[in-house]
Structure 1
Amino acid sequence: MGPFSAPDQGTTLPDVVDPAGGANQTRVRAHNERLVMSLVRRHGSLSKAEIARRSGLSAQTVSVIMRGLEGDDLLIRGEPMRGRVGQPSVPMMLNPDAVYSFGVKIGRRSADLVLMDFVGAIRLNLHQPYPYPDPDAILNFIVEGIGKIEQMLTATQRARIAGIGVATPFELWNWAAEVGAPAETMERWRTVDLAGELAARTRHPIHIQNDATSACGAELVFGVGASYPDFIYFYIGSFIGGGIVLNSALFSGRTGTAGALGPLQVPGPNGGTTPLLKVASIFVLENMLKAAGIDPRPLYYSAEEWIDFGPPLAAWIDSTASALARAIISAASIIDFGAAVIDGGFPAWVRARIVAATRSAVQELDLQGVIVPDIIEGAVGSEARAIGGASLPLLSRYLLDTSILFKETD
């Protein structure tokens, strides 16, 4: 039995530490097992021969690893592929029921809690809208929600939960006035120890990441990442954020804030400039609906069930697309991105309208000397932040960091 025995067997899973460090047998075996599972996850299913070719490991090593992972229920066999010379090839796949993880999205208008399986499918989810993010209320929602979901699971399923990944805006106390939140409530986010509070009230390991970075990571792992090794990512929530992917890995920069696209300057009123977040954010649409005498609260009931708000929505989409076009061309002037990916907390039909309008707006700009990236819809959707959060425990315990994963030999 290898070091990656399924969690319900009570095995402690070793972390892969800095690859530049010394390598002993246990660390090498752990690294190779993560590599095999990461390759299988990326490609959906792979045979032993394909894993050996892509990983550079010997066929014998791959056979030993795959037997161990299959014995631990982390890999399952697909149907044999016949029609070739020799023995039929047997593809191996991740077992969706081998591992689960909780993902949390904390937003300025709502929170989400999801239970995700080993292949990225959402099994259960809870949604909580609110007028502003109160730390105590959100902590209670997470803890009570985990309790509710775990009651729906079998003992074996509960034992296979790898951890909790939380995707949250950093410095939530900022922009209190813009979202109409009491300053004293928002100030409490300066001192709340989110990880510590959750660790004290749940039994699972806790992982914290910026919400937009989590969404970008979800797009890299579960979305367009297989097609575009370099892309800039925009996620339009209450405020817009994003991320940068270079060489099939998240790029966080010197201070960890690379891809924080909200402050990027775009044309504003009266010939000046304004931050992108003050144009291409759902809170702007919220204010436009209020000005038109329309109740904006349905924006936050369910991201997938927006109604067509008519002229205010159309005007917001046009202004958002114009700002996104400027931001995309500015970014493409610095880095030759293959794609600009647009997603957000809204239905697919709204995303499609924004992408189409952004493509049109780009063509109205002076593009001399600029190679325009493909402007495409995100593939993960409105739950990208929660899915990205739920990915954190899986990456920590079972899979390789994407910067290593995508260096496969092919």
Structure 2
Amino acid sequence: MRGVEADGLIKKGNPVRGKVGQPSIPMELVPGGAFFLGLKVGRRSLDLILTDFLGNIRSRVYLTHKYPTPDGVVLFAGHGISQLLEQLTPEERTRVAGLGIALPFRLWDWAGVLGVNKSDMEDWRDRDIRAEIEARWDFPVFLQNDASAACGAELVFGNSDRPSDFLYFFIGFFVGGGLVLDNALYTGKSGNAAAVGSMPIGRRGGKMLQLVDVASLSCLETAMAHRGLTADAIWSNPASWQIPQGMIDEWIDTASDGLAFSIASSASLIDFSCVMIDGWLPDAVRDDLVAATHAKLDSINTAGIVVPDVRAGSIGSDARALGAASLPLSQRFLVDRNALING
């Protein structure tokens, strides 16, 4: 303990009095004891953050784009990391434990929905951006599926009253998910477990739909484009959308249908007590989506299964970037590193 304190990672807190004997002195993490970088690669934006030991975001660099390319991500990461590190003192830079990357898997499968040619996304099949970025820096770099990383942020930085088992949905350009079993993030053999966006939810007009077709922000983006509105309002500021409320309500109605169906299907396979829904959403929109999903779930025939509780996630729009930053934190400082990074 003294060694960890001497390293500047922990410090003595205020004495706790009122009990028998000498007052106890709790130990606390030092916010500046370690720093972590988190890179979120989104289909419409890139976000690089610098966090301290408590998960506070110290600074960030942000960029919107039409679609992500390996070259663009590596270039953004190089410039962004340099910019963020310049804000630290020389001593603080020695405390940067690493970079985590939250990346959607199989990006080449979604070129059509992104509105680009398939050839524009083919480089993602063979490029290893983790290794390319790591080669430029003297700290380790880790990579995880973006929705799994967002779920991991709930484990590390979320509310302490979370259940030990839960299914997690993150609403981004595409909806994605994560699965927590016995307080550990389960990512599976390929790292792509809980790929809820690919879950079939029924037919419409003879076509089998997946959850991604109804519960993604790409659906809202398409609806706005059909009405002659720019989708910049979605991606520029997740805290406040300047979007007609009627359009948001229509999207919530459709998205909650799909989410409720997916939750019921998942609960028939795994007995989890809770579902968390978070996303690149204003808090009010997220809360309305949670309420609508809960109501739709109540209307489904769930005979034979225990219906899980549905609640809002506690992290918000930064979940993917914070989850990315938690990867070097878990590798360096958590006793059970498997709780976050392995299946």
Deviates more, 1:222-231 or 1:384-393: 222-231
In 1: Cα distance, 2:206 partner to 2:293 partner: 21
CA deviations over 1:292-315 (Å, ceiling 9, x no partner)? 221112211122232233222211
Which structure shows the bigger proportion of residues in strand conformation?
2
Pairwise CA distance, 1:256: 3.1
Instruction: Say whether residues 1:113 and 2:73 are aligned partners.
Output: no
Contact preservation (8 Å) 1:248, 1:402: no
Paired amino acid for 1:351: R
Matches within 5 A, 1:46-65: none
Aligned to 2:167: 232
The equivalent of 1:155 in structure 2 is 90
Contact 2:145 2:191 in 1 (8 A): no
Q: Identify the residue that residue 269 of structure 1 maps to in structure 2.
A: 204
**Shift of the alpha carbon at 1:271?**
6.5
Which residue pairs with 2:119 in the alignment? 184
Q: Which residue of 2 aligns with 1:144?
A: 79
For 2:131, the aligned partner's letter is: G
TM-score scaled by structure 2? Answer: 0.95
Q: Secondary structure at the match of 1:128?
A: strand
Say which SS state the counterpart of residue 134 (structure 2) adopts: helix
Is 2:100 aligned against 1:165?
yes
The alignment status of 1:285 with 2:220, answered yes or no, reads yes
Percent of matched pairs sharing the same residue: 43
Q: Distance in 2 between matches of 1:297 and 1:286?
A: 9
Q: Structure 2 regions of 5+ residues with no counterpart?
A: none
Q: Which amino acid aligns with 2:188?
A: G
Pick one of 308, 311, 314 that aligns with 1:379: 314
Matched-pair contact (CA < 8 Å) for 1:229–1:246: yes
State yes or no: 1:256 paired with 2:165.
Answer: no
> Is 1:350 paired with 2:259?
no
1:194 paired with 2:147, answer no
Q: Match of 1:46? A: none
Counterpart for residue 36 of structure 2: 101
Distance verdict in 2 for CA 1:328–1:129, change over 3 Å: same
Do 2:111 and 2:120's aligned partners in 1 also have CA atoms closer than 8 Å?
Answer: no
* Alignment equivalent of 1:81, drawn from 16, 30, 39: 16
Counterpart of 1:304 in structure 2 is 239
Distance 2:339 2:324 in 1: 20
Contact 1:104 1:165 in 2 (8 A): yes
Report the structure number with the largest CA radius of gyration: 1
Q: Does the 8 A contact of 2:144 with 2:191 survive in 1? A: no
Please give the alpha-carbon distance, in whole angstroms, between the structure 1 residues aligned to 2:30 and 2:199.
42
Q: CA deviation at 1:231?
A: 0.1
User: Aligned partners of 2:338 and 2:65: how far apart in 1?
Assistant: 37
Q: 1:143 to 1:255 in 2, by over 3 A?
A: closer
Residues 248 and 403 in structure 1, CA contact (< 8 A), matched pair in contact too: no
The two structures have a TM-score, normalised by structure 1, of 0.80
- 1:13-37, CA deviations, whole angstroms, 9 ceiling, x for partnerless residues? xxxxxxxxxxxxxxxxxxxxxxxxx
| Contact map agreement 1:343 1:377 (CA 8 A) in 2 | yes
Contact 1:305 1:347 in 2 (8 A): yes
Give yes or no for contact 1:103–1:115 (8 Å, CA) kept in 2.
yes
Counterpart for residue 23 of structure 1: none
1:101-146 deviations in Å (ceiling 9; x for gaps):
1000001100100001111111111111111112222211111011
Aligned to 2:333: 398
* RMSD, matched Cα: 1.6
Deviation of 1:403 after TM superposition, in Å, equals 5.5
Task: Tell me which stretches of 4 or more aligned residues in structure 1 moved more than 4 Å.
Answer: 402-405
What is the Cα deviation at residue 272 of structure 1?
5.5
Q: Give the structure 2 partner of residue 244 of structure 1.
A: 179
Q: How many residues align?
A: 340
Does 2:14 correspond to 1:69?
A: no
Instruction: Give the stretch that moved more between structures: 294-303 or 269-278.
Output: 269-278
Which residue does 2:142 correspond to in 1?
207
Q: Counterpart of 1:315?
A: 250
